[in-house]
Amino acid sequence: MPNFSQLFGGGGSGGGVYEQRVFVKSGTFIAPVNGLYLLSLIGGGGGGMRGGRGGAAAGFSQKLVQLAAGTAVNYTVGAGGQVNGGTGGTSTLTTTGVSMAATGGSPDTPGTASGGDINVTGGSSGNSRASGGGAVGVYGVTPAASLEGLNNGGAGVGSPGVLYGAPGTALGFVVSNTAEYSAGRLLLPIGRGGLIQEGSPRNGLPGGGGYWGYSSNGGNGGMFAGGGGTDATTSGGGEGGMFGGGGGGTTGQGSSVGGPGGQGGLIIEFMRGK
């Protein structure tokens, strides 16, 4: 099996192929070859509240950098906010001449970002009980906030969840019921939100929010997206999607719990050798 350096085109002489790597635990990345790298940093999503709103999404920071072979990129990854309103953790990254940060979301406050060429504030949850969680701005703009009102679907990265209805989607419309990413890039999610049809998953595909939980758990958000809220008395809000999505809130009845926020992370893409 080829090693990381071979996938990147070998010893730094140029002509390397495109590659992406995902990191969800704190550590150090060593650039294998000289080249242009795209660093995308996401904080942890906010947890949804019990008897309150969903969690807001994390901040998103992105920077294009030239790295020499052997350069160390040190990073910490923020955890997702815990159930019932926990605040997501902050992700940080430092390397030669670069210092980036993406803070986590909370129910009331979206995460922010700094140090990148692009720094995007996370999407808000709806300001009402059992609203869906917010989504991360991977397309370079802050996603629309989840709508206010009881029992929303989770926000997608391209549109909000709808009151007593469908969650948001990655692009603001549905490409297909199975599409996930464009060109295989994690940072180009094109997924739908969760479905309500009998037997269909309420969970969103990448970039799409979770469907709201009518007497059941809210659907989990797809990658970067918000979990659905719920009016169930014994179930919970949907989980925020991996990479900073906000968890869904609940009405606070019975033993229901707000959904946890999505884990933060770092995505490194090798764009061109030099």
Question: Given this model, what pLDDT does residue 2 score?
Answer: 35
- CA neighbor of 144 nearest in space, from 234, 225, 236: 225
The phi and psi torsions of 174 (rounded to 5 degrees) equal: -95, 120
AA identity, residue 117: D
Q: Which two tokens stand for residue 38?
A: 């795209």
Question: Given this model, what pLDDT does residue 5 score?
Answer: 37
pTM score of the predicted model:
0.90
* Cα 38 to Cα 117: distance, rounded to the nearest angstrom: 10
Q: Which residues contact 42 (CB under 8 A, 6 or more apart)?
A: 58, 59, 60, 61, 91, 102, 136, 224, 243, 244, 264, 265, 266, 267
* Cα 164 to Cα 192: distance, rounded to the nearest angstrom: 17
- Work out the number of other CB atoms within 10 angstroms of the CB of residue 199: 5
* Cα 67 to Cα 70: distance, rounded to the nearest angstrom: 8
Write the CA distances from 259 to 73, 86, 142, 150, 224, integer angstroms. 32, 10, 22, 15, 15
The SS3 of residue 5 is helix
Question: Given this model, what pLDDT does residue 233 score?
Answer: 76
CA 209 to chain centre: 10
Question: Given this model, what pLDDT does residue 236 score?
Answer: 87
Side-chain half-sphere of 17: how many Cα atoms within 13 Å? 6
* Cα 166 to Cα 175: distance, rounded to the nearest angstrom: 15
Question: Given this model, what pLDDT does residue 9 score?
Answer: 40
Side-chain half-sphere of 272: how many Cα atoms within 13 Å? 5
Q: What is the pLDDT along the chain (274 residues), one digit of tens a residue?
A: 333 333 344 333 344 447 899 999 999 999 999 999 999 999 999 999 998 899 999 999 999 999 999 999 999 999 999 999 999 999 999 999 999 999 999 999 999 999 999 999 999 998 888 889 999 999 999 987 777 766 688 999 999 887 666 799 999 888 888 999 998 899 999 999 998 765 556 899 999 999 888 778 889 999 999 999 888 777 789 999 999 999 998 887 777 899 999 999 999 999 877 6
pLDDT per residue as tens digits for the range 103-134? 999 999 999 999 999 999 999 998 888 889 99
Q: Which residues contact 81 (CB under 8 A, 6 or more apart)?
A: 44, 45, 46, 47, 55, 87, 88, 89, 104, 105, 106, 240, 247, 260, 261
Q: Which residues contact 36 (CB under 8 A, 6 or more apart)?
A: 64, 65, 66, 67, 270, 271, 272, 273, 274
Host H or E run for residue 6 = helix 4-7
CA angle 154, 157, 161 (to 5 degrees): 30
